[in-house]
Amino acid sequence: MHEQEQLFIGGEWVTPSTGARIKVISPHSEKPVGSVAAAGTADVDRAVATARQAFDEGPWPRTDPAERVKAIRRLATLYSARRDELAQIITAQLGAPISFARRAQVGLPGSMIGAFADIAAAYPWQENRPGVYGQDIVLRREPVGVVAAIVPWNMPQFLTVTKLIPALLAGCAVVLKPAPESPLDALFLADLFTQAGLPPGVVSVLPAERDVSAHLVGHPGIDKVSFTGSTAAGRQVATACAANLTKVSLELGGKSAAIALDDADPATVAKAVRFSGMGMAGQICNALTRVLAPAGRLDDYTDALTAELSTIRIGDPSDPDTQMGPLVTRRQQERVRGYIDTGLREGARLATGGSAPPTGLDTGWYVQPTVFSDVTPAMTIAREEIFGPVIVVLPYRDEDEAIRIANDTEYGLAGSVFTADTAHGLHIAGRVRTGTFGVNQGYSMDPAAPFGGVKASGYGRELGREGLESYLNTKSISIAQSPSPPDSAG
């Protein structure tokens, strides 16, 4: 059992303002694995005030960027030494298979910390530019201020790192708010910040329920909100930020399409969809969940997906051989099962899976990998984000119809095309309206490549140079050129 009685505010462990607790339940055993103190609104006020003082008066925003880079590199070293402990915590609280937790939930974020430090080390923090009207122009990139980083439960370490590290490198102070389903890994990190040499006040970690999150988002002491979550919640965050004119970036839902062109290989597409769509039991925002197949080859793609997904080993997430674990909560399990029942009711053909629990797994919030064929674009399962291990296969008659179907969604987060002609794949990428796209792969998140969506998938970018810049303001300074000295001759 992981127990934490205190909150981490500004580099110190402090007594919370309330006696409220957050219980963490194993999605596999359905038994408690931990409990932490729940922050109240008074704790939010305290954390924001501490961050405000650290930013307005403390050394971190005024520290040379090269020194901030050194501190983050120290954090990367500390993080690397604790990766296995962190992976086990994530497996216990989220049901992520331990192999996936080590690789994607902890290993990938660990490597990204160093990659972000490299980006900051090479970043042009100041630029000189000649003015049009004779003056000299100096551009300075300065930290945006106090950041509220709101992280969901599905990939908590990855999303914490993509928000927290660029914000710190920029010189910001951060109040990190993990989801109530996944507070343990965030609190585990807290002591590492102090060990890495971050000044007091720069980082706070506040596990809290959603009403307290709303108080944080709407707090007048916050300069920037970085939010990842559902589109419905994102709209509420955007409205709250508008009231204070608070800067905000939103990474929201998705319903990404994998377009298989006539020359694509069904087995290759099926493997890519498995990699993209089944990670964390399908609880990934940029998962490829719609497969668009040529009408004449619909059965080929349905059969390939069925064969590929049938090899997934489902079970105890602590077993190194397990490839897919449970969904994070009973509520999420019931939601996904409801979508499967809706698909059947609306006339889609169930190729594999279904709403019954996997064989031998009567305990735990499990859902079978599920494939629907004979799906039309109007069906609920083709339009709404399911956030579970459910793939739908839709036929198209020609390439133009495939593009129309791919774009016929409120979302625009990611997508892919599969073809033997890479140049043509790039052409298709230009016609699909998303923020990110892959050619012959499920979209792969690289530290150098900005990630984010369009339409109802949000706005703003994380990762890459653009991710760092989202925590910076650009200040323009005009300098008058010195007048010529007077002529001293006779």
- Residues labelled catalytic: 251, 285
Q: What is the 3-state secondary structure (H, E, C) of the chain?
A: CEEECCEEECCEEECCCCCCEEEEECCCCCCEEEEEECCCHHHHHHHHHHHHHHHHHCCHHHCCHHHHHHHHHHHHHHHHHCHHHHHHHHHHHHCCCHHHHHHHHHHHHHHHHHHHHHHHHCCCCEEEEECCCCCEEEEEEEECCEEEEECCCCCHHHHHHHHHHHHHHHCCEEEEECCCCCCHHHHHHHHHHHHCCCCCCCEEECCCCHHHHHHHHCCCCCCEEEEECCHHHHHHHHHHHHHHCCEEEEECCCCEEEEECCCCCHHHHHHHHHHHHCHHHHCCCCCEEEEEEEHHHHHHHHHHHHHHHCCCCECCCCCCCCCECCCCCHHHHHHHHHHHHHHHHCCCEEEECCCCCCCCCCCCCCCCCEEEECCCCCCHHHHCCCCCCEEEEEEECCHHHHHHHHHCCCCCCCEEEECCCHHHHHHHHCCCCCCCCEECCCCCCCCCCCECCCHHHEECCECHHHHHHCCEEEEEEEECCCCCCCCCCC
Backbone angles phi, psi at 387, to 5 degrees: 60, 50
Rounded Cα distance between 63 and 67, Å, is: 7
Q: How far is CA 42 from each of CA 22, 48, 385, 456, 457, rounded to the nearest angstrom?
A: 17, 10, 35, 33, 32
Distance, in Å, from the CA atom of 82 to the CA atom of 130, rounded to the nearest integer, reads 49
What order do you get walking across the sheet with 12-14 strand by strand? 12-14, 7-9, 203-205, 173-177, 146-150, 224-228, 247-251, 458-459
